Structure 1
Amino acid sequence: MRFLLDDEQQVFARSLDGMLAAAGTPAVVRAWAAGDTAPGRALWSRLAEAGVFALAVPEQHDGLGPLPVELGVAFTEMGRHAVPGPLVETVAVAAFLDRLGDDAVAAAWLPAIASGKTAASLCLLCESSPYALDAHAADAVFVVEGDAVRLAAAAGPVQPSADPARRLARPLGGTVLARGPEVAVAAAHAADVAALVTAAQTLGLGRTLLARTVEHARQRIQFGVAIGSFQSVKHRLADTLIALEFARPLVHAAAVALAAHDPASGREIAAAKVTACEAACAAARTALQIHGALGYTEEFDLSLWIRKARALRSAWGTPAACRARVLAP
């Protein structure tokens, strides 16, 4: 089976790519990492106008979806440009509220998410994941603990992260919105959606890392020739390309499975997540080594993609957890 985007999806991808290329995202990422969210929220509004967040919201709440395949397309492009903010988490909140079955709560939040007026974060509270992403910048932080979901009242101090633009904090206090077994079911669905779009995001990151490294290898001269002509460099770049190309159909297949409500979609998503993240991390290592000392400097824009690839590797499913899910009987 071949997983190819149709013409409309390809046009959507190109339009997002053009918009984000013109937005100067490296400056936006650096501002977000420094605590200035204004440029990021301005870009957020432009993404909302393009319909990105509406793809996660059902039509009865002013959305266009849920459309997992189109979400994968959007997040691949946002990954290519390293867009900061709780993008994945906002989509996960939309999936959670849609599946929760509480019409009043859904009506209160989903239209605002679709329009881009609300940026949300989701924390599935457990010992290994006590933090919410960008809780300081989100308009709402939903915290799931056991069979209850609450709206956090505040956020603790920002914690250090491998990616400075991924600002983590503990959600504090709050009001319980719903309680019951349906909360855990909705949370599991939201985690699957989050893992899928994270896989798409890391796939986009990997593509940019490879493209910039190929460009550098063509321009960097050693011993009178471009380093891209060296056999060892060619092999390393080829291995990186193969890994990313292998991950791409897995991400598309997982999106198709989720859209079709396939009972095996969770396993498909786990396979896509671990494959895409490992490919992106391999692309980051290749970029770091071929760029040499340049790759280690914070001032060089490449570092923004390298750090994000490393951080996303464990977000919404560690490699070990994803492999265990794939291999489970």
Structure 2
Amino acid sequence: MRFLPTEEQVSFAEAIDEIVEGAGGADIARSWADGDTAAGLALWRQFAELGLLGLRVDEEFGGFGGTASDLVVVFERLGYHGVPGPYIETVALLPALVGDDARAELAAGAIATAAVDGVAPAALDAAIASHRYLVREGALHLATVGEELSSLAPTRRLSRLIASSEPTPLADGVLDRALNEATLAAAALVLGAGERMLDEAVSYAKIREQFGHPIGEFQALKHQLADVKVALSFARPLVWNAALRADEAEADRAISAAKVAAGDAAMRAARTSLQVHGAIGYTGEHTLRIWLGLAPALSAAWGTPAFHRARIARAILPKER
């Protein structure tokens, strides 16, 4: 098994970095959090032109036909930059659930979102989406926007959805595979967010001084930052393993392990980064707030840590006779 990106995947990740930085970098997420979605939507259109939105759509429908490993590469970079928008729903979840025409529209750049009863009960960015879906009792419904909800992450606007069409039953196993795909994307996204918080903490530790020395010189802080690096480094192979096993019988266990490890590592990164930044890390004006909110929000999205730990336990513990 290969647990490292290919040269093509590295180039694709670099292209994403260049596009995001050229479009404004973290300012895109800051503007989105403040209610201005123009820059974020412009970035969405650029990604559509790149083919990113059709990453998991077959070429016959205008997609990229990428692999689960490609998905991990893309979403880790999106998380690193805190890119806002319903990318998990559009790119990872819905291509397997919708019909051929809608699948082609997703690949072409349509903004789609979804809520799944019992797993993801609130839809992300429903107000700006042209395609809204509600999954209930194993069937897919078109939906309209309902009650707005709050989120820990300033860039995540959540809403309840109301079914507005007759149900379209989903074939056996389709929803489970789609949810695994969304969970894998969320794991990569939160892993990227953790990496960004670590980089922000290390950079700030080099310039913030106490007692006449940069705080990065203090041994205790070095140990905390090293612990974050270790946690992220251990989580990454689990995410890659989940991508490589996405179509195998043990996919559920591998994806749940990746989600738990990536979420735990990102939460450790959030705590340490906030401590390094001190009082300014708590302020709404500081860019760090984007990732500080993403870490707990994404850790709980697409299955809470308790849900995924229970799924791992069911997979490895002997069944009662």
TM range (shorter): over 0.9
Is residue 225 of structure 2 the alignment partner of residue 233 of structure 1? no
- Residue equivalent to 1:276: 262
Instruction: Give the ranges of 4+ consecutive aligned residues of structure 1 lying more than 6 Å apart after TM superposition.
Output: none
**Alignment partner, residue 284 of structure 2:** 298
Aligned partner of residue 175 in structure 1, secondary structure: coil
Aligned to 1:175: 165
Match of 1:123 in 2: 115
Instruction: Map 1:213-224 to 2 at 5 A.
Output: 213-224=201-212
Q: Normalising by structure 2, what TM-score?
A: 0.94
Structure 1 gaps of 5+ residues are 98-104
Quote the offset at 1:33 in angstroms. Answer: 2.6
Where do 1:5-154 residues align within 5 Å?
A: 5-97=5-97, 106-116=99-109, 118-126=110-118, 129-152=120-143, 154=144
3-state SS of 1:279 partner = helix
Report the Cα offset of residue 301 of structure 1.
Answer: 0.4
Structure 2 unaligned spans of 5+? 316-321
Other structure's SS at 2:152 match: coil
What's the RMSD between the two structures over aligned residues? 1.6
The Cα offsets for residues 272-299 of structure 1, whole Å up to 9 and x where unpaired, read as 0110011011101000011110110110
What letter corresponds to residue 121 of structure 1 in structure 2?
T
Question: Could you tell me how far 1:177 is from its partner in structure 2?
Answer: 4.8
Distance 1:8 1:129, change over 3 A: closer
Q: Indicate the residue corresponding to 1:101 in structure 2.
A: none
Which of 162, 166, 180 pairs up with 2:152?
162
Asked if the contact 2:93–2:179 (Cα under 8 Å) also holds between the matched residues in 1, the reply is no
The alpha carbon displacement at 1:95 in A equals: 3.6
Q: Give yes or no for contact 1:32–1:40 (8 Å, CA) kept in 2.
A: yes
Match of 2:166, SS state, is strand
Counterparts of 1:147 and 1:74, CA distance in 2: 29
- Count of residues in correspondence between the two structures: 315
Quote the Cα distance in structure 2 between the aligned partners of 1:62 and 1:82.
27
Q: Distance in 2 between matches of 1:64 and 1:290?
A: 41
Q: Deviations over 1:223-243 (max 9, x none)?
A: 111111101000000000000
Q: Please give the secondary structure, in 2, of the residue aligned with 1:84.
A: coil
Structure 2 counterpart of 1:124, which letter? V
Contact (CA 8 Å) 2:266, 2:295: kept in 1 or not?
yes
Distance in 1, matches of 2:138 and 2:200, equals 46
* Residue aligned with 1:164, SS: coil
Contact 2:93 2:182 in 1 (8 A): no
CA distance in 2, matches of 1:171, 1:308: 22
Between 282-291 and 3-12, report the one with greater CA deviation: 3-12
The residue that corresponds to 1:204 in the other structure is 192
Tell me the equivalent position of 1:100.
none
Identity of aligned residues (%): 43
**Could you tell me which amino acid in structure 2 is paired with residue 39 of structure 1?**
A
Quote the offset at 1:213 in angstroms: 0.4
Residues 1:255 and 2:243 aligned together:
yes
**Following TM superposition, by how much is the alpha carbon of 1:246 offset from its aligned partner in structure 2, in angstroms?**
0.4
Distance 1:186 1:32 in 2: 33
Q: Which amino acid aligns with 1:122?
A: A
Partners of 1:196 and 1:213 lie apart in 2 by 26
SS at match of 1:92: helix
SS of residue in 1 equivalent to 2:101: helix
Once the 2 structures are TM-superposed, how far is the Cα of residue 111 of structure 1 from its aligned partner? 1.1
For residue 24 of structure 1, report the CA deviation from its aligned partner. 1.7
SS at match of 1:155: strand
Q: Does 1:266 align with 2:259?
A: no
* Contact 2:138/2:175 (<8 A) preserved: no
Contact in 1 for aligned 2:127/2:145 (Cα 8 Å): yes
In structure 1, how many angstroms separate the alpha carbons of the residues matched to 2:48 and 2:22? 16
My pick for the range that moved more, 272-281 or 21-30, is 21-30
Q: For residue 176 of structure 2, what is the aligned residue in structure 1?
A: 188
C-alpha distance in structure 1 between counterparts of 2:2 and 2:217, whole Å = 33
Compute the displacement of 1:64 (Å). Answer: 1.8
Structure 1 contact 198–316 (Cα < 8 Å) conserved: yes
C-alpha separation in 2, matches of 1:66 and 1:214: 34
Deviates more, 1:20-29 or 1:77-86: 20-29
Q: Is the 1:56–1:94 contact (alpha carbons within 8 Å) kept by the matching residues of 2? A: no
Q: Distance in 1 between matches of 2:32 and 2:157?
A: 9
CA contact (8 A) 1:135 1:168 kept: yes
Amino acid at match of 2:127: H
